[in-house]
Amino acid sequence: MSAKDLGITVKKDENLSEWYTQVITKAQMADYSSAKGFMVLMPYGYAIWESIKEYFDKRIKEIGHKNAYFPLLIPERLLRKETEHFAGFTPEVFWVTHTGDRELGEKLAVRPTSETIIYESYSRWVNSWRDLPILINVWNSVVRAEITGTRPFLRTSEFLWQEGHTVHESEKEAETEVMTILEIYKQLVEDQLAIPVLTGRKTEREKFKGAVYTTTLEAIMPDGKALQMGTSHHLGQNFSKPFEIKYLGKDEKEHFAWTTSWGVSWRVIGALILSHGDDKGLMLPPRIAPTQVVLVPIFYKEADKESILKVIRELAEELERAGVRTYVDNRTQYTPGWKYHEWEMKGVPVRVEIGPKDLLHNQITVVRRDTGKKESLDRQTARQTIMRILEEIQSLLFERASKKMMELTSTATNLESFKQLLEEKGGFIKGYLCDESCEENIQKETGATVRLISPDQSQKGECLYCKSENSRLVYFARAY
């Protein structure tokens, strides 16, 4: 295989779908599996998931959340306890019916989400107001049968995620939790992954089955399709009642508790790839990149090798001490050119090259993945300059994606302009909407769904579909 074969053979602008598949495979992010609809998360993809995990885990622990683990298999009778929830999930459930050759007395669901199995425990754990709040998070995987249109990261029958499940004394406290988590998600996605999002509530039609309401983060991909990046649900007392999660309050009376649940999955890695990648491959925001700086030695004579490697190692150590994640690529079976292609494909933000000329002038050469710009830096101040460049890349990626989101956001005043905008450029389309039947009609006619209700309801308007007055402002899009 030549260095050229490493590269992507289609342009991102011309065939996003094929480009996406090639990037995932060639950057070794993920692989297909013979279990249909299931995906292998390869080490490089997993390292990105670890970055995401580390950030989010730290953030929620700082405000009192703790991790735990609940069973993978859920008895059918538990799943049935909340009717709407069961109806929503049952078509997608993978059912265990046998162990070995023995048929089970009761079917077990491979967890599609854990509300029911967790609430069974909570009903025992919660007795008094002193036991509240319960702030528990779980890192696991869930399975939901996806028959059609599976894509790595974006739509898979199994996905890694975290699911938070909290219990509170009051509705107000539960609602505050929902918003606190939504805000942490927003910071994860915007500040770490450099992907701008809209946040707000889902409509009744789009909410989580069993929730009072669902809040969401929605990003827009370069092809104009929206991607849901995470959700945080207010479950009210919808689950605490069937599961009997009750506590004796300070008032000495028994109350049903208030619960929330929230999740972010590996899907955000799909958004990361789609949002920032280019014709050379991945482009990773420095804060989430498993390797932020790769250092490549260049020598033509064996005599130069040791002195160059010495400088490379010194700089790498200096960067590591300052908290920069570095990798010294001193593999001998590959040429520098091959290495450049590989690290560009893998989206490493900064590449450092050091050759004989650099050594001579006490300098290093730095190449930015975001702009492709190559420059010589003074060796003495290289660490500080590289750290500044990493911050610049982080900002630039977010600015670019924000500009793209602005370009892909428009407003429709009637159904014709709505359809035209949807066909011509896609993206988020703002418009007024009355109630659920118009929402369904619009979806049937155009394929677009309501991604969120605009948080700004200062003005009401005429429904796009039925023209009734005093309708809410919402964001539509076709979605992944």
Nearer to its own copies, 140 or 437 (CB): 140
CA distances from 398 to 16, 51, 216, 305, 379 (A): 20, 18, 20, 39, 29
CB 148 within 8 A of CB 256: no
What gap in Å lies between CA 259 and CA 166, rounded to an integer?
5
Picking from 215, 269, 148, the residue whose alpha carbon sits closest to that of residue 451 is: 215
Binding its own copies by CB under 8 A: which of 58, 124, 253, 301? Answer: 124
CA distances from 342 to 11, 27, 309, 360, 394 (A): 17, 8, 20, 27, 21
Nearer to its own copies, 38 or 396 (CB): 38
Question: Minimal distance in Å, beta carbon 71 to its own copies?
Answer: 4
337: amino acid identity, one letter: G
What gap in Å lies between CA 407 and CA 341, rounded to an integer?
31
Select from 136-144, 339-347, 358-366, 374-382 the region that touches its own copies (CB under 8 A).
136-144
Q: How many residues does the chain have?
A: 480
Report if residue 2 touches its own copies, rule: CB under 8 A.
Answer: no
What gap in Å lies between CA 42 and CA 363, rounded to an integer?
36
Count, residues near its own copies per rule CB under 8 A: 54
Report if residue 337 touches its own copies, rule: CB under 8 A.
Answer: no
What gap in Å lies between CA 40 and CA 151, rounded to an integer?
12
Nearer to its own copies, 93 or 364 (CB): 93
Evaluated on CA atoms 473, 89, 273, 222, the torsion sign reads negative
Question: Minimal distance in Å, beta carbon 283 to its own copies?
Answer: 22
Nearer to its own copies, 140 or 413 (CB): 140
Report if residue 6 touches its own copies, rule: CB under 8 A.
Answer: no
Q: Write the interaction track for its own copies spanning residues 55-74; mark x where CB under 8 A is met and - where it is not.
A: -----------xxxxxxxxx
Question: Minimal distance in Å, beta carbon 142 to its own copies?
Answer: 9
Question: Minimal distance in Å, beta carbon 266 to its own copies?
Answer: 9
Cross-strand partners of 471: 461
Report if residue 140 touches its own copies, rule: CB under 8 A.
Answer: yes
Question: Minimal distance in Å, beta carbon 301 to its own copies?
Answer: 25
CB atoms within 10 A of CB 396: 15
Q: Write the interaction track for its own copies spanning residues 395-434; mark x where CB under 8 A is met and - where it is not.
A: ----------------------------------------
What gap in Å lies between CA 437 and CA 448, rounded to an integer?
14
CB 418 within 8 A of CB 476: yes
Report if residue 136 touches its own copies, rule: CB under 8 A.
Answer: yes
Report if residue 78 touches its own copies, rule: CB under 8 A.
Answer: yes
Q: Write the interaction track for its own copies spanning residues 82-121; mark x where CB under 8 A is met and - where it is not.
A: --------xxxxxxxxxxxx------x-x------x--xx
| Binding interface with its own copies (CB under 8 A) | 31, 33-35, 38-43, 45-47, 49-50, 66-75, 78, 90-101, 108, 110, 117, 120-121, 124-125, 130, 136, 140-141, 143, 145, 158, 160, 333
